[in-house]
Amino acid sequence: MMAINHPAGHLEEFWVEKVGHLWRSASESWKGIPPDVADYLAELIAEEGTRSEVVKIAFCRYLDFFYRSDAEWCKQYLYPLLDWDNSSHARQAWSGFLRHGGWSNKLLADGFLEMLVPATSHTDDLDTHGQRNLPRLLAAIAIQSDIEPRSWIRGLITKSSVPNRVVWAQAIRFQIDALGPKAVEKQWERWMRDYFSDRVSSVPRTLDPTEATAMAGWIPFLTDSMPAAIDMVLQVDTAGFSLHDLFFRDLSDDRIARAPEKVAELVHHLLKSTDGQFFGGHEIQRVYEVFKSASVSSHILHKVAEEAIRLGFTLE
């Protein structure tokens, strides 16, 4: 991005360091950015021309820093830059923010989340980093933030395209991969159960098969809730397994043991929608042997074996 190497980008770095130095020096007596500095930074933003454009991008990279250092100044001068309805600089400002993507619960609760979710309907206007990072950021917020996900996720689904919803669901998988089993179950109780229930009921939008497949990728991380989640996925069409799918990597033998019959049903459900290149025959063989050892019913085993044959490999 231009802001990184442009001279104005170095100016922005100077002022971020300057404000940080003043903040550290003031310690507990800090009451916000000093008026003379705050006014000068506002003047930089208000200018026209290339330097001002770069400053806007660069300052938005450090949105959370400016919010923590002076929330009122941040809301007055940086929030408007991110408003798609009122700012001609929104594309650059959001691309700048999404390079860094720092956030806090206070920032989100103070109006920023209400700006962040609608940004998903403008992903085509973002640069490559912004397009990639926005769904990932929203996944991190869903899992890590104190804010109730159900209060905003419907808006996300309503405003997002199918590809962005898939990327978001895949990013949720990476988030819960970093959690322990109990923490994942807390997320299930907190919002994921209702999300599954809504989406399989086409609320607030019809569930695309590619989304269903991405959501199925959450299931290996569940414990007590695994059967309920599988039952819901079995109600909808999926896009099957893809060439580089992580599902079988996540589906370890001990995870299958949590609900072997249900997991076998899920594997069959995903296999029957799988087309094209699929080189996971050895993984299907592995889980099939685990299913047999766990006394999965013969008719489910037969269905899995039939789909394997259709894809070009045998299990028996």
pLDDT in tens, 12-52: 789 899 999 999 999 999 999 999 999 999 999 998 878 88
The answer to whether residues 95 and 127 touch, using CB atoms and an 8 Å cutoff, is yes
- Mention every residue, 6+ apart, whose C-beta is less than 8 A from residue 153: 142, 191, 195
The 10s digit of each residue's pLDDT in 140-190 is 999 999 999 999 999 999 999 999 999 999 999 999 999 999 999 999 999
Sign of the C-alpha dihedral, residues 238, 242, 244, 250?
Answer: positive
What is the spatial distance between Cα 305 and Cα 268, in angstroms, rounded to a whole number? 9
The 10s digit of each residue's pLDDT in 83-141 is 998 767 899 899 999 998 899 999 999 999 999 999 999 999 999 999 999 999 999 99
pTM of the model: 0.92
260 preceded by cis ω (within 30°)? no
